[in-house]
Chain A
Amino acid sequence: MLEMDYSPLILSLKVAAISTFFVFIVGVMIAYYLAKRDFFGKSILEALFLLPLVLPPTVVGFGLLVLFGKKGWIGSWLLEWFDFQIVFTWIGAVIASIVVSFPLMYQSAAAAFESLDERLSNAARTMGASEWRVFFTIVFPLAWPGLLAGLVLSFARGLGEFGATLMLAGYIPGKTDTIPMAIYFAVESGQMGKATFWVLIIIIFGFSLILWVNWWSKRNIRRFTRI
């Protein structure tokens, strides 16, 4: 291990962070909107949201190529109107990561919102609080432990995303090589030292993330119960 290229680490963190940012906002919004509503086809919609979780990554990757490829439905439109290409760029990696981590965020957020006591929000409403204020001062703080779990899971999932990313973002060393891709191609070409290095990095990252969340949620649950 004489010369190590650290770009996969920086790229992976960048991709996972940006993807988690979008997944968090959109996931929370959709989950909150759907949490207190029941309508025909809700289960179908939810199943659709969770689909990327159970589909093989190659299927997700193929679907993304059909959508975002240069000749894809969305991809061709973006290229024509904005001269903007998603396939084979790091933004492609962000999109792949968003799609596969969204189910985790949605699932956690939906569970967090559904377990809230509706009477608290209603009490605030009777006192004239706006919907925004109800959300930010009551719903969000109470649901935060669940939302944080979703946030961390999404980040970890984005960090580890490989199959769909390889198809949509391609493997361009120095441009779209995330840690999982660096590991895959290092193993394939027999560079075990390099593979081991990245495997250790990603294990340390994942492990400390989970450790921190567990510690944090335990401490906070204790605090909540004491009140």
Chain B
Amino acid sequence: MKRFLLSALVVILSSLFIGCSATDKQPVEDVELLISAAASLTDALEELKGTFEEEHEGVRLTYNFGSSGKLATNIENGAPSDVFLSASTKDMNALEEKGLIINESRKDFTSNALVLIAPKDSSIEIASFEDIDREALDHIAVGEPESVPVGRYTKETFETLDLWEPLQEKLVLGSDVRQVLTHVEMGNADVGVVYSSDAFISDDVIVLAESNPEWHEPIVYPGAVVKDSKHREAAQQFLDYVTSDAGIETLQKFGFK
């Protein structure tokens, strides 16, 4: 056992040294940008990575995907990051108040919409959120309104339409937007409410209706360069690229507005 531990230690240590020497040999002008981004942006950003790196030689992108709240906390605690792409204004505001981002770089780069979805083979006919008939549905999957952003927007929408109270006992509250999607994908909920970008990446649901943006707070995605960034110029370049025509086109391809 002792010998095994010892050899394991040797392997780990030597791999560490190899790792170090590999990064040491990198040319100086190579820039690695660390992008902290909301999980819902995963697919769109992975595609952007290819075209961005092609156009900007010497700049490499490394993504760190997570919930916006968690990423903001990480940045507050000094986790290295060059750009923050958030799914909620609340988390970006928190960083701005603490002076952790470059205020001039802050920009809303995309937005999302709420959509009413049903399982692919569903025969339910609902043309708009206003048509939701409580008699015809057993279960409606939505995000938990206090803790899940998509649930908060859904509640606002239903309240505007005077549907929140009457639908109350049919609402299955998911712990995140993925769970809401799963409930509908598996056919356990008759309908559900998710972001259009989530509905877009699922092959097992159909979109019945889109919400009117006036029914809820705008769902915007703010992005900004992080103050502690050592590559501010490249970071700004990337942020500009996300809001360029090419960036917008890619985001729209994945269901963003």
Tell me if A56 is interfacial: C-beta within 8 Å of chain B.
no
Chain B interface mostly: loop
Contact of A71 among B148, B169, B187 (CB under 8 A): B187
Contact of A87 among B148, B168, B188 (CB under 8 A): B188
Tell me if A140 is interfacial: C-beta within 8 Å of chain B.
no
Total cross-chain contacts (CB, 8 A): 57
Chain A's closest residue to B172 (CB) is: A170
Give the docked Cα–Cα distance between A87 and B139 (Å): 10
Give the docked Cα–Cα distance between A100 and B174 (Å): 21
Tell me if A14 is interfacial: C-beta within 8 Å of chain B.
no
Which residues of A have CB within 8 Å of B173?
170-173, 185
Known: A69-B187, A88-B188, A185-B144. A174 touches B172 (CB 8 A): no
Give the docked Cα–Cα distance between A85 and B144 (Å): 23
- Give the Cβ gap from A199 to chain B, nearest Cβ, in Å: 17
B175 touches A188 (CB 8 A): yes
B174 touches A171 (CB 8 A): yes
- Give the Cβ gap from B197 to chain A, nearest Cβ, in Å: 22
Chain A's closest residue to B175 (CB) is: A166
- Give the Cβ gap from B152 to chain A, nearest Cβ, in Å: 10
B175 touches A71 (CB 8 A): no
Tell me if B181 is interfacial: C-beta within 8 Å of chain A.
no
B139 touches A88 (CB 8 A): yes
A171 touches B183 (CB 8 A): no
Range, interface on chain B: 20 to 34
A188 touches B144 (CB 8 A): yes
Give the docked Cα–Cα distance between A172 and B189 (Å): 12
Known: A185-B146, A188-B144, A188-B147. A70 touches B187 (CB 8 A): yes
Give the docked Cα–Cα distance between A70 and B122 (Å): 12
Interface residues of B in 170-188 (CB under 8 A from A): 171-175, 179, 183, 186-188
Which residues of B have CB within 8 Å of A166?
175
Which residues of B have CB within 8 Å of A172?
169, 171-173
Residues of A at the B interface (CB closer than 8 Å) are: 65, 69-71, 85, 87-88, 166-167, 170-175, 184-185, 188-191
